[in-house]
């Protein structure tokens, strides 16, 4: 994954309540495989947690 895209992806994900592969595909116009990679990336970075819900930082 390109760094530029990951920043855009992270910013987009942080604005969502829940992230799904389908939503990633629609938003970024990517294939199922790429969307799965993006989703895994978001999970690995801790932005997305269980069931695709976004972990918003608590103030």
Predicted local distance difference test score (pLDDT) of residue 56: 82
Give residue-wise pLDDT tens across range 6-38.
Answer: 899 999 999 999 999 999 999 999 999 999 999
For residue 1, is pLDDT > 70?
no
8 A C-beta contact, residue 39 and residue 19:
yes
φ and ψ at residue 54, rounded to 5 degrees: -80, 135
8 A C-beta contact, residue 16 and residue 54:
yes
Predicted local distance difference test score (pLDDT) of residue 55: 94
**Measured between alpha carbons, how far is residue 28 from residues 20, 21, 32, 50, 58 in Å?**
12, 10, 11, 22, 27
């Amino acid at each position: 994954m390109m760094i530029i895209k990951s920043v855009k992806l992270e910013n987009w994900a942080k604005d969502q309540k829940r992230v799904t592969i389908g939503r990633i595909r629609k938003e970024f116009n990517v294939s199922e495989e790429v969307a799965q990679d993006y989703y895994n990336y978001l999970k690995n970075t801790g932005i997305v947690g269980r069931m695709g819900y976004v972990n918003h930082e608590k103030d």
